[in-house]
Amino acid sequence: MNDLSLWLIFLLLGLATTLPRASFIVLGNKVALPSRLQRALRYAPAAALAAIVIPDLLVVSGSVTPLNPKLAAGFAAVWVAARWRNPWLPFLIGMAVLWALQAMIKA
């Protein structure tokens, strides 16, 4: 592969990531998305967060482990977040559960 091909690939990848994002800014309200797509896009942030967090909760030492301290701490944090609207409490309870379970496993 020569240098020109490499630069062409960089340019095309840059356009492929920039154009879809810029289209919402450039087009603005001139083009309306279908209502079904707008409803589906409301779930995109939650889906992206789940795609980042769930593998970290399930994978321990390179293999999927459904019963592990991280997953239990994640469930505790979600339960606390659903029960109380305090933004710090899920973090505190989740970390407390994680540390307690890790200490019990080591003992």
pLDDT at res. 106: 86
Residue 103, both tokens: 């200490």
Residue 67, both tokens: 């019963």
**Residue-wise pLDDT tens digits, 5-28:** 999 999 999 999 998 888 878 877
**What's the gap between Cα 32 and its chain centre?**
27
Q: Is the pLDDT of residue 107 over 80?
A: no
Give residue limits of the domains in the chain.
1-32, 43-106
